[in-house]
Structure 1
């Protein structure tokens, strides 16, 4: 086994140079961690770095950038960092904000007049600010896959595509991660600065930081890694969406970015941003958002407790993965990049396992509950039939739905073949009992289910300890007669995604006995049961928050006797 590891791992010369003695144990344990993960997780190539006290104390490459030609993965190897690009986009906006060229608290339409998505009653595009897009709380759908590669599309196409979609929620109500939103922000940067987005990032961030081996697919960068998954080498998929996931960089350059941000935070001389602007980016921005899954700054996710904080972002593009963790008050950072799909988990675990060293836990990422205190489980209350009926109905999740009906002084919640009894502790808080065997009830004392009204939506929320899980809002039953003629199997017709599990095969539209409209979305690697919220006779929304195929406009049309479904820009024909 030792011989295999020595053959498989190509350790970068000089990885141990200039390391302070106090950090030697951390460096050794990090090296050992990745040696083991390279073999156990079948990772082809990976590079990682740790910054302490503002300096790189360890960096190392493992495995291959090009397995077929035995080219080593080193700190000079260039990898696509995917969605970590969003931190560069947010930084560019804050540069323009501090120069007075835009105000992030103003409406997005102020700087992008052609932004005209389809609105619904109570959901206005005018309420969407630049800041709400930066924090993924704008209500703009999560993505649009039409012409999503650079061969067939460009980021300036995205506003036109978004205008063909509905807003999902009122701005500031729900946290829903949106690549489409960040591509709109790329168009804002282009319009306000009068520079193309890629040119702006080069001139105002990459060049001042000396990131000379970083850029975009169009730059024909040297030393680019190949990408791998399932043991195979895959063709690189160049994203149209350069403002949300298009930056390529090397580990050496990535450390320049991290140390540059740490210097700016501390008020040290830097060429990119004022300390006050960066501190605003690194401050909690979404505490008042009622349906949220993570704490967020401006362009960053946040781990935050009463003593300290860290900011974090992950990226995935094609099969490349990258992770960036900054701990500004400790002047520290952690960076991992890999060219292998299977390497993403090891990279994330490495970052998260280091959180306790800086006084943080994974749970510090999650917002405080909005559902209030747990009531005593010994005090089940008697509610009237009318009070119980207020919660009856079907609630849409990202990959299924739950049906809530009234029992004998309790609620019965059913999801597929699983039934849970909900006994009331108040009009809105319920204690779950799982059914074991044929008739045994098992009390789940550490859990609660809450029903709550939020801006006209009736939500079901599961709570475990201090962690809340949004189980969706109540759907109106559909008109079966109107939708029955549209049910059936639709196969992909036209543009196809070029890589990974998002290569689509078909959509099957069907109606459940609870009168919920569902689509069975099949890709080359998965089958997804997606509930739809019908808006009108031609449009619906896929349900859920920050998961799977949630948060998309689904359109229906008939042309020359053929029926079509458009799911996030991908067309299917019956």
Structure 2
């Protein structure tokens, strides 16, 4: 997921900030001298590794065509005491999407595909059902900026030990439905990037991994980088080795690389697409990938995207636009970010499940320090100013009472106490109004006492009504996005009322999956609940909205919303279909 607003769960949020040493203090800084940048980031990385129990991190900083720092911290292989270094290969996750977009643009330059024509032109086997007859077509362009309306994922076989080829999704999704109209709402889609990779294969006549090797990795001198179905890097969760599962959708997330190789890619960006004497991308393609594509779309709320790149989420005052992409897998996290106007960039790779927040913090601080060292533009850090808290108004109590879809699943909000109390992911929270009209989040210890928690402090929420939908907008720093939406019970079809109960997934999936699935009704809303053995205290809840007698969709707007749950006629055995999977009702 490409957003600092998608917070890790309570266990991470309650970590105590225990700094073991004072940060290095900058003396007089000579422009172009990165000594303080390196010293401060070294201190910061050590602090983040200790605080979040991160096993290994590698970092590289690029100033135009110069690699100004590269360093590894901790261990690539803790058991064998193999240190992390700049050449350590990590799972770079969704940084892969920037490369897949670049390959698409390269083929467009050659006239082999048109990013504004329907995807089916470049990929004739592609089709998906739709409930939006007036929608714009699904194109490579709106796939690259995550406004295609495609489902976020095709879950059947997505995370497994032995994945099939990613291009099998072309056939797999023909019975699925488009989640939203194209060009309507940001909905991050791994599936879309898998389909785009299949189009790269089709029009180039090469397998996707071979195409990337021949047309990007070799020309850029990225000798330790590959797209691979199976990961080769170790991964850790709080310094304990964890099993690494493969992700089927190679073009979306299966990039293996190190910080030195990704520095080569950033250098190419700063050289208008050139690497040595090779013109890997045309300068116009590089610029177009960095141009905001969705500024005039109806539900943007300041969450801007380019082609492959995210154009919001990191704010560097005085630095101009920031282009970035993170890579978040269940077992590891990464971040690559650049300041195009100043030709500076950073890449941070880790092998740890607990590094989600750290990679963004480190990358942001790196860009701020580099900008000051290179240009003298000083980054003044001012403590946040919070407007005074106040009691909820009668209108706020009315608006917030009920069920909301949120970034962490279905949230049940009650205002019976005169406060705005939230139950989500098995935990208790409170929304607190302030005099400036915004709301902040407090965590309720043991479900009773609301207290501020560090990672929540800078999240500010507001409500807006768009086309009759009550939307919660979340803001953290300069980044805004849809945080949730109030759900209106619309009546549950009789066929689903008869299908309430506990379910199991048909056929053994060789990978992480819920160990308990429940379909139930609550106050007129159809709700799905999932428990996971790996995270026993997590309860994932999803609300559904009916679209026909035999179909409902995951309610809400954006990523992982709009997916279809349907009743499958199969004799006497109740079956449900969801994202390529079949669910069978358990018999009591």
Question: Considering the TM-score relative to the shorter chain, is it more than 0.5?
Answer: yes
Asked if structure 2 preserves the Cα contact closer than 8 Å seen for 1:44 and 1:340, the reply is yes
Q: Structure 2: where are the runs of 5+ without partners?
A: 1-29, 372-376, 380-389, 442-459
2:276 counterpart of 1:262: no
Distance of 2:293 and 2:194 partners within structure 1:
20
1:134 pairs with one of 144, 147, 150: 144
2:161 counterpart of 1:146: no
2:463 counterpart of 1:449: yes
2:325 counterpart of 1:313: yes
* Shift in Å, 1:496: 2.6
Q: Which residue matches 2:522?
A: 512
User: Would the alpha carbon gap of residues 152 and 276 (structure 1) be closer, same or farther in structure 2, given more than 3 Å must change?
Assistant: closer
* Shift in Å, 1:542: 1.4
1:283 pairs with one of 291, 295, 298: 291
Distance of 1:338 and 1:420 partners within structure 2:
33
Distance of 2:274 and 2:222 partners within structure 1:
21
Q: Which residue matches 2:308?
A: 299
Asked if structure 1 preserves the Cα contact closer than 8 Å seen for 2:184 and 2:298, the reply is yes
Distance of 1:522 and 1:297 partners within structure 2:
36
Q: Which residue matches 2:385?
A: none
| Structure 2 counterparts to residues 205-216 of structure 1, below 5 A | 205-216=216-227
User: Would the alpha carbon gap of residues 204 and 419 (structure 1) be closer, same or farther in structure 2, given more than 3 Å must change?
Assistant: closer
Distance of 2:475 and 2:330 partners within structure 1:
34
Q: Which residue matches 1:543?
A: 555
Distance of 1:320 and 1:421 partners within structure 2:
33
Q: Which residue matches 1:100?
A: 111
Please give the secondary structure, in 1, of the residue aligned with 2:246.
coil
Please give the secondary structure, in 1, of the residue aligned with 2:568.
strand
Q: Structure 1: where are the runs of 5+ without partners?
A: 1-18, 362-376, 383-388, 423-429, 435-445
Distance of 1:191 and 1:150 partners within structure 2:
27
- TM-score by structure 1 length? 0.78
2:63 counterpart of 1:30: no
* Shift in Å, 1:556: 2.6
- Give CA-to-partner distance per residue, 1:433-487, whole Å, 9 cap, x none: 99xxxxxxxxxxx97533221xxx6343447798464532654512464422111
Q: Which residue matches 1:237?
A: 245
Q: Which has the higher contact order (CA 8 A, sep 6+)?
A: 2
2:547 counterpart of 1:531: no
Q: Which residue matches 2:365?
A: 353
- Give CA-to-partner distance per residue, 1:147-166, whole Å, 9 cap, x none: 22472421111122222221
- Give CA-to-partner distance per residue, 1:475-534, whole Å, 9 cap, x none: 451246442211111123324362xxx532122111111x11110122232211110122
| Number of aligned residues | 507
2:496 counterpart of 1:488: no
Please give the secondary structure, in 2, of the residue aligned with 1:309.
coil
Please give the secondary structure, in 2, of the residue aligned with 1:333.
strand
Q: CA RMSD in A?
A: 4.0
Asked if structure 2 preserves the Cα contact closer than 8 Å seen for 1:211 and 1:256, the reply is yes
2:282 counterpart of 1:274: yes
* Shift in Å, 1:569: 3.2
Q: Which residue matches 1:439?
A: none
- TM-score by structure 2 length? 0.76
Q: Which residue matches 2:11?
A: none
Distance of 1:558 and 1:298 partners within structure 2:
41
* Shift in Å, 1:131: 0.7
Q: Which moved more, 1:109-118 or 1:130-139?
A: 109-118
Q: Which residue matches 1:440?
A: none
* Shift in Å, 1:381: 13
Please give the secondary structure, in 1, of the residue aligned with 2:311.
strand
Distance of 1:244 and 1:263 partners within structure 2:
25
Distance of 1:81 and 1:485 partners within structure 2:
45
Please give the secondary structure, in 1, of the residue aligned with 2:185.
coil
